[in-house]
Amino acid sequence: MNDALLFEKNGPVVTLTINRPESRNPLGAADDPENFTEAARRINADRDVRCVILTGAGKAFSAGGNVKAMREGSEGFGGPGVHIREHYRNGIHRIVRSVWGIEVPVIAAVNGPAIGLGNDVACLCDTRIAADTAIFGATFLKIGLIPGDGGAWLLPRIIGMARASELLYTGDTIDAKTAEKWGLVSEVVPAAELMSRARAVAEKICGQAPDVLRMTKQLLRQGMTVSFDNIMELSATMQALAHHTGDHKEALDAFFDKRPANYKGE
């Protein structure tokens, strides 16, 4: 990893910061796939991590793909179409798959514009908290492109097909309050309070038993695509595992003792 993606661990919370503020945090540079892959690997391997906050440095969350590189045909956007396809598969898609594959809850703290790929990366997170300065847009058609990073699958699942279609077909952007009304974000806070609010939510998440927290996230993700019968079978299997954790016993003891639980991931 390098300074283009900052990794900071404070207790059980990791904060990832997209760190190209001078150009509004574009994504898709040659080092981004490895940065995100390594960050996700470190998070998933560290059983002490219980929550992640993803944000952007400066005034933007992420302006999306590098349109200057697209115009110049550089950074993987030049050459035959089959080469560009591999640039997406082995580059931008690795960013997307890495964020999607993080096993603990991820909060997007959207501090400013989240446009195109930036909007889709925010949508990969489990929940989104927006600063009142945030702007959202799926503006691919405005530069003659499709949502090439999974946005056509993600966005309708979050805000519904009609509103996702409107955003994609018009290329319009929406402000934070509209995003909240549409269900794209869970809440809007003053920009100065964004990170403190994100940390407060993360702290609450971190109060849960860590192993069943990860299993709950997996169930939610699986529930987006598998059948009801499959999710019921998976639920029974994971519940059986949960019953045998020390944290389940601790939760029951704490409930009857009327005290906070002390979870150890056992």
Question: In tens digits, what is the pLDDT along the chain, a chain of 266 residues?
Answer: 789 999 999 999 999 999 999 999 999 999 999 999 999 999 999 999 999 999 999 999 999 988 888 888 888 888 899 989 998 999 999 999 999 999 999 999 999 999 999 999 999 999 999 999 999 999 999 999 999 999 999 999 999 999 999 999 999 999 999 999 999 999 999 999 999 999 999 999 999 999 999 999 999 999 999 999 999 999 999 999 999 999 999 999 999 999 999 999 98
64 C-beta neighbours (distance < 10 Å), count = 27
Residue bearing tokens 């889709």? 120
- The 10s digit of each residue's pLDDT in 127-136 is 999 999 999 9
- Note whether 53 and 202 are within 8 A (CB): yes
> Domain residue spans in the chain?
5-206, 210-257
Cβ atoms < 10 Å from Cβ of 187: 12
Q: What burial letters (b/e) apply to 45-58, b meaning 16+ CB within 10 Å?
A: eeeebbbbbbbbbb
**pTM for the whole thing?**
0.95
Assess contact for 131 and 111: CB atoms under 8 A.
yes
Q: Report how far apart, in Å, the C-alpha atoms of 247 and of each of 10, 204, 207, 257, 263 are.
A: 22, 17, 12, 15, 5
Query: Is 3.90.226.10 the CATH classification of the domain at 5-206?
Result: yes
Contacts of 35 (CB under 8 A, 6+ apart): 1, 2, 4, 5
Q: Show the beta-strand stretches assigned E in 111-222.
A: 113-115, 127-131, 135-137, 173-175, 187-189
Check residue 28 and give left, alpha or beta (phi > 0: left; psi -120 to 50: alpha): left
| Residue given tokens 């949960």 in the structure block | 242
Distance (Å, rounded) from C-alpha 10 to C-alpha 195? 13
The secondary structure of the chain in percent helix, strand, coil, rounded to multiples of 5, reads 50, 15, 30
Q: Order of strands across the sheet with 173-175? A: 113-115, 135-137, 173-175
- The whole-angstrom separation of Cα 203 and Cα 128 is 15
